[in-house]
Amino acid sequence: MKNIQTYLLLMGVMVAWGFNVPIIKILVGYFPPVTITSMRIFTAGITVFIIMAAMKKIRKPSFGEWKFIIFGSLFSIVGHHFFLSMGLTKTSATNGALILGTGPLLTAILSSVLLRNRPTWVQIMGFLFGSAGVSFIVLSGEKGLSGLSIGDLNVFLSILSQALSFILISKAARTLDPRLLTGYMLIFGSILLFFIGQWQEPHGLKGIFHAPILLWAAFLSSAVLSTALGHMVYNSAIKKIGPAEASIFINLSTFFSLVGSAVLLGEIITSIHLFGLLFIVAGVVLGSGAFEDLLRKRKRKELGQTQKNY
């Protein structure tokens, strides 16, 4: 497999992203959510530029590239992180992780719509399975339909924003190094988030630097490992293997989020969560095109074997 190194790096990113969900849950539970998110992302952006400067890869984007940076920042940074930080203040990290697991499915659907790739009946089945999985999760509480959480909706809007950004990143990466693109988006997006935070949380900076040292260690691990290095690797993978295939790995992040929520927050993973996860996994495999790719490869292999026999 020519992309084995990319796949292994993506698996590492998914571990970091998975544990990042309960870490963010801890951070937004102690700090003003939008303000601390803007600071975390700005730290990540500075980290990316330090790395790119050491590699001598920094350059000024063209006018056309700036358009992708601005819109990518609005979706990938402002939209995704704003809704995620607000959502995790109103729902569990477990629910949040499972809803985030629909990312590959949403990316595949948006790729079909925006890149004009007509979905197959298998992908439509994937959409139905994924939707059913999310429904099991968010409607499984004791209150049923009345128990729907605004936090769940915010997390869904978060992953929808990120899925849209993956389409933009795949186009921008044709001319701009995706790692440098990541740095520009993080800096630009964090500045916008900071001003939103100052409007929504006017006293957000008051007392923020008196937090326990363990919280700042969590802050740095989230900013440097998950956000800076994680997005650099992931956006590079989008350029190499495409947005739909790269998004398949987000399912692994869902698994590690569940593990992290249980280990770091003591949240209980129920049979309903696992049942919903199975449907989401099925939706990801079918909706992203992975199942059809596997069938095509198997058919080509069988055809090649048949031709050899003759």
Span 213-227, pLDDT tens digits: 999 999 999 999 999
Per-residue confidence at 145, pLDDT binned at 50, 70, 90?
very low
pLDDT of residue 132: 76
Per-residue confidence at 185, pLDDT binned at 50, 70, 90?
very high
Structure tokens at 132: 């059913």
Distance CA 257, CA 240 (A): 26
Least confident of 10-19, 55-64, 69-78, 250-259: 250-259
Mean pLDDT of 180-203: 90
pLDDT higher than 50, residue 272: yes
Percent of the chain with pLDDT over 70: 85
Distance CA 179, CA 200 (A): 31
pLDDT of residue 41: 93
Higher pLDDT, 79 or 112: 79
The enclosing H or E element of 199 equals helix 178-200
Q: What is the pLDDT of residues 87-140, one digit of tens each?
A: 888 887 777 777 777 777 777 777 777 766 666 777 778 777 877 776 676 566
pLDDT of residue 144: 45
Residue 226 near residue 21 (C-beta atoms within 8 A)? no
Q: Which residue has the tokens 């996994």?
A: 281
CB burial string 186-225: b at 16+ within 10 A, e below? bbbbbbbbbebbbeebeebbeeeeeeeeebeebbeebbbb
Nearest alpha carbon to residue 190 among 25, 36, 61: 36
